[in-house]
Amino acid sequence: MHYKDLIVWQKAMDLAVEVYRLTKKMPKDELYGLTNQLRRAAVSVPSNIAEGNGRASTGDYVRFLIISRGSVAEVETQMLLCVRIGYFTQEDIEATLSLCNETGRLLTTIIKKLRN
């Protein structure tokens, strides 16, 4: 199956778009700090799904999916940090957290299936 057909990749793309939407509202002095870090982590999620899907071995694919799952946790953590700092409210990040949760669960499911 092509990676673009995977629901997990589509959700990961939605997550990246949502992170970009939110980070546009962050202070300009964070552009090379937390904004950049959040965007890089968010882009890493669908990118690693795609790269893993394009690899020749199942083991490589699983490894890239695990990296992607780690990036989901990174986005979630950084969003929660943004709330603590006062850049966003909890309500502002609800859609992002929901996408993190859904994408993470889908990644875990695919990883388990590929390992069996």
Identify the domain containing residue 104 by its residue range.
3-115
pLDDT at 47: 98
State the Cα–Cα distance between residues 11 and 109, nearest whole angstrom.
Answer: 14
Record the tokens describing residue 40, joined without a space. Answer: 């890089």
- In total, how many domains does the chain have? 1
Is residue 1's pLDDT more than 90? Answer: no
Q: What CATH code is carried by the domain that includes residue 35?
A: 1.20.1440.60
DSSP 8-state secondary structure symbol assigned to residue 93: T
Q: What is the pTM of this model?
A: 0.95
Instruction: Output the average pLDDT for the chain.
Output: 97
- Banded pLDDT at 115 (limits 50, 70, 90): very high
State the Cα–Cα distance between residues 112 and 29, nearest whole angstrom.
Answer: 41
pLDDT at 97: 98
